[in-house]
Every structure is written in structure tokens, then in C-alpha cells.
Amino acid sequence: MKRDAGMDSTAWFETISLDESDRFPGKRSVYVCCYEPAGNRTLSGLVLLESDELHDWQHLEGVQARIVPDEFQMACELARKDERFLAALRKRGLEDASKVLIESWSAGNFGNPEEQNRRIAYGHCWLMNDAGDNPYARPIANLHPVFDLGSREIIRIDDFGVVPIPPDGGPIRRQQQRDDLTEISITQPDGPSFEVDGFHVKWHDWELQVGYAQRDGLVLYDIGINDNGRLRPLMKRASMAEMVVPYGDPRAANFRRNAFDTGEYGIGVSLDSLTLGCDCLGHIHYFDICTHDWQGNPRLINNAVCMHEEDYGILWKYSVPAAQQTTVTRSRRLVVSSIATIGNYVYGFFWYFYLDGTIGVEVKATGIPFPSALENGKASPYGRHIGDQIESHVHQHVFSFRFDMAVDGELNSVSEMNFSAAPSGKDNPYGNAILSEETRFTTEQQAQREIDARQSRYWRVLNPNVKNRYGEPVAYKLLPGANSFPLQQADSSMGQRAAFMYKHLWVTRYTADELYPAGWFPNQHAGGDGLPQWTQADRAIDNENIVIWHTVNYHHWPRPEDWPVQPVVYAGFHWMPDGFFDENPTMDVPRRE
Ligand SMILES: [Cu+2]
């Protein structure tokens, strides 16, 4: 394959994955992306599996493939042998480079001429703790080897001055563990309520297909719900399509930290193998995922996706006091999840399907917050003192979720709901009137919107061609959860590269290859690709095949309680039926009296 594609033997595979381009309908084809170090070339194309033919194979000028795990390892080893780096370590009293972890983070694009037309990665360094269970325990501030991952060399060492290395805070794994928490075991004596056929899942009224992409990680296809014997589609494809974590410290090289974990590294390649009783509890169905290593050989991730049912408290309840009668039903949800470890951080991506037609989307963030060393014994204005001589800087975790919608069919529309207090006056004599306003979007540029809690704002995806019992178009609403606003200047390098984060809602007309909101190749990209570029066409989106993009921003001002390991924090939102059904669809759920 490498020879046919005009590459030398050093070329490695960034991605071999399902081709979702519609280029060859009805045929099995895969998308392939390679990087050839010798020529610093990124190449991509499609391979037809039956005939082994290569199509659209091209060298992508000025583009850098994602950074793969092997490059992390290679860069770490390069630095440990580099005389300039070892000298910088000695300046800090460090003799043993094997105890130093060097991670090659994406470098961004800040216009540095020395970094143009090369495959640059920016190093961050830590000294491991003596117990060996925290490689990030002791940050080595201000020391950054700058790598050319293509030519496999260190082009320079950025050293902004010695900062004392924080003391060893001891092991994370404490010897003394409490014994007053009794065991919780979850059993389903009759087995689970779901049926699995390969990757196809049926549960309650729900049907969906579990899928995978190397960038997105978990992808759900063909989500639909059975309603009186009719399978009603909702979404053709749903995934977390991009995420970026910009940090807010402008000093030394700290402005560099803004990883696009999806587009620059890949959530899918970083999925954990999950363990029963640890990651998941109850009656679990695991899906194994087959991906590949950088030589193109298959690599199996066992237990990459976990699926199970969870009791979720009460579903609905009412009482008739006169008859001394109370009726309650129990809620439960189907949970489909995966967890990715990317360097110091760990992200869980959880999809919840509820009996009442609600879909919950939740990110669980944990791991080790990025630690830096205190310079003068005090936290900087951009960080918070969270450990002995350790601060962690303010940052945001910004996620872009992509939904190829199909609410009761392919043609959908989108509207925005806003609520406001009516002005006092003749029509509002008691000052209590609440006005509702629904605005339907007709083109892409109208549909770039922000959250607004003051107006209880949410968005509806409706199908104008299908009406409910009351003559309204059937709809699902996108209800934002806790969210935030980006605090990077929009004209900054970071702001332009992650322009998607300035709007919480984007709507685009479906185009097969528009999968990633910061473009296909964000690594070292100068910015402007993806959503801002596509939506310049301002395509029609009313009663069209449309895609919804929702941005979730988790603002993180670290706490002492986030050290040495951060308890899970949550960010997410819900899709809820909103006139999709004619009444509460759970009236047949067994009641308890
Ligand atoms: Cu954080």
C-alpha cells in the first residue's frame, strides 16, 4: 500500500477508518491518512476494499497529521538523550533523566518562522514521584524541548529560567483505606432488558447502532424510537466531534497549552479497556473495538465501550389523598459509554437513553489537573494554589457535539425559544405575564447562537412535514446544561483555530465530509477551518437535511480538592421530546403502589 501510494517505508498510518464521505455509495471503502516523515508529507485518500483500489490519493499541502501515541514515546526518548536538555535538567539539580516525563503537546500556530513547514510539538516536563504512581507529581516549570517530529530532532530548548521543583507529595495510592463503606452489588436476576445483535442495540423502545471513529471515539448511528409499532428516526449519527482545552496563563510558554484532544490526538485511539466492578457496575455488555497501530496492523481495544441499565430514581408519581392512593413508576436508563485517557486527563463520554424519550449526553472529567510550579511560593494571577508549591492554571474544556438529525425523517428545521417578562400595562395589569417567542431559522448564519439563561433559551429541531395530535410539527428540543463562554480573544491564534467555541449552537446543511468543527487537520493549522468556513455559504437549513452542533464549555478554576487526582466533574445537556409524542410515552411502565 505504501509503495502504491508513492510513499517511502518510513511512512506511518494516522488513520484507517470507515469512509463516511458518500463517495462510493453501496461499496465498502475506508479513509486512510498517512504521514511520511522523510518528506514531511501528510497524505490521504480512500481505498475500495473489494478491489483494493486507491482513490483521491493526494498530498495535503501544508497540513499536519494528528500526533499519535508512538510520537509521544519517541519524543520523550529523544529528549532524555539530548545534551542540551540534560544540561537544563542539571541546572535544576536533576541527574536522572529516566525519572523525567516529557510529553510532546501540539504546538499550535503562533507564526514563529522557525516552526513553519515542520512537524512541531512542544514539550512539557515533569519529575515522577518516588512511588512511581504519579508521573505529573513534580512539574519542571519553564523547561520546554521543541520537537520536529518529522525529522525526529529537537530544534531548540525553550528555558525561561529555573523554578524550584515542588517536593514529592508522596504516593497517590494511600496504604490506609477506610473500611466503613459496605459493598453495593447491582443484580438483574432476569438478565438485562436490552438485546444486542453485533453492534445493533434494542432496549425498551430504543434502537441504535454502536460505532467508533478514531477521532470521535464512540459514535452512535441510527438512533430511533419505536412508537406504536413504528420506528421513528431521530439522529443518523451522533458524536463528540471536537474538543479543545485552552489555558489562561500568558507567561513564558504557558500560552501554548490548548490541546485539541480530538483533532490533534484522537479520542478513539485513546480509549481505555474498561474493567467490570471498577469502571462499570451491574450487568454489562462490552463492545470491543478494532483499530490499528501506526504500522497499520490491527489493534484490539477490549471492552472499549460499556453498556448497561441503571435505575434512575422515580420516573413519575402522583397521589390521590382522598383515596389514600399513591402511584409511582421507576425510571431507568440505558447507558452507553467509553473513557479516554489523554496524558494527565481522563474523559468519560456517557450517553443516556431514558424511558420517556430523553437522551442525556454527559462528559465526566477526571485525572490529574495540569500542575505547574509556584514561582515565588505564591500562586500567579492565572492559577490557584492546589498542592505543595503547585498551582494549576485557569482553563476551559470546550466540547463540540455533532448530531446528524433525522427527526421523523430526513428533512428538519430548527427554531429558537425565548421567554421574557411582558411589560406592565393594559395587557399585563398584574405584572405576571410571560411572553414566549419562537423564531425559525432559515439559513446557516442566522443559526449561530449563544445560550441565554435570562430568556430560558433552548432550541427545537422539528419536522414541518409530520404533525402531532395537536397539529404542531413533531419536535425534539436541545436543552443546554451548565455551560460557559470562551474567554480567549476571538482574533487570537487560539480563537481563530477554535472559532466553533464562540457559538453554542451551529446548524449546517448536511454535507458528508463536514464532520469536524475545526476542520480535518487542526494540528498546527492557522485557523478559520471548519464551521466558520462552511457556513460562509449561508446555506438554506429550513426543511432540509441538517446537522446540529452544540458547544459545551466547562470552565475550570482548579481547587485544592482537584489534587492529587480530580474527583469527576460533569458537563452535559439533554435532548427531550417536545411535542414528538402525543402524551407521556411512559404510561405503560409498570407502576408501584
Ligand atoms: Cu480542567
d(CA 238, CA 576): 15
Rounded to the nearest angstrom, the distance between the alpha carbon of 557 and the centre of ligand 1 is 7
pLDDT value, residue 5: 78
> 499 to each of 432, 436, 490, 519, 557, how far by Cα in Å?
40, 31, 7, 11, 22
pLDDT value, residue 1: 66
d(CA 492, CA 42): 26
List residues, by chain if needed, whose CB lies under 5 Å from ion ligand 1.
Answer: 556
Q: Which residue has the cell 510529553?
A: 103
CB-based burial of residue 514 (10 Å sphere; 0-12 exposed, 13-18 middle, 19+ buried)?
Answer: buried
Which candidate in 19, 249, 261, 529 is catalytic?
261
pLDDT tens-place values along the chain, 593 residues long: 666 778 999 999 999 999 999 899 999 999 999 999 999 999 999 999 999 999 999 999 999 999 999 999 999 999 999 999 999 999 999 999 999 999 999 999 999 999 999 999 999 999 999 999 999 999 999 999 999 999 999 999 999 999 999 999 999 998 899 999 999 999 999 999 999 999 999 999 999 999 999 999 999 999 999 999 999 999 999 999 999 999 999 999 999 999 999 999 999 999 999 999 999 999 999 999 999 999 999 999 999 999 999 999 999 999 999 999 999 999 999 999 999 999 999 999 999 999 999 999 999 999 999 999 998 889 999 999 999 999 999 999 999 999 999 999 999 999 999 999 999 999 999 999 999 999 999 999 999 999 999 999 999 999 999 999 999 999 999 999 999 999 999 999 999 999 999 999 999 999 999 999 999 999 999 999 999 999 999 999 999 999 999 999 999 999 999 999 999 999 999 999 999 999 999 999 999 87
Which set of grid coordinates corresponds to residue 401?
457535539
Rounded to the nearest angstrom, the distance between the alpha carbon of 451 and the centre of ligand 1 is 21
d(CA 202, CA 208): 7
Rounded to the nearest angstrom, the distance between the alpha carbon of 127 and the centre of ligand 1 is 21
Rounded to the nearest angstrom, the distance between the alpha carbon of 395 and the centre of ligand 1 is 6
Rounded to the nearest angstrom, the distance between the alpha carbon of 247 and the centre of ligand 1 is 9
Which candidate in 136, 247, 265, 345 is catalytic?
345
Neighbours of 462 (CB within 10 A): 25
Which set of grid coordinates corresponds to residue 591?
407502576
d(CA 354, CA 185): 22
Q: What is the identity of the amino acid at 193?
A: S
Provide the strand spans (E) within 255-324: 258-259, 285-292, 298-320
70 is known as an active-site residue? no
Rounded to the nearest angstrom, the distance between the alpha carbon of 573 and the centre of ligand 1 is 18
516 is known as an active-site residue? no
d(CA 126, CA 100): 6
Q: What is the identity of the amino acid at 473?
A: P
Which set of grid coordinates corresponds to residue 358?
430523553
d(CA 551, CA 574): 13
Q: What is the identity of the amino acid at 479?
A: L
Rounded to the nearest angstrom, the distance between the alpha carbon of 554 and the centre of ligand 1 is 8
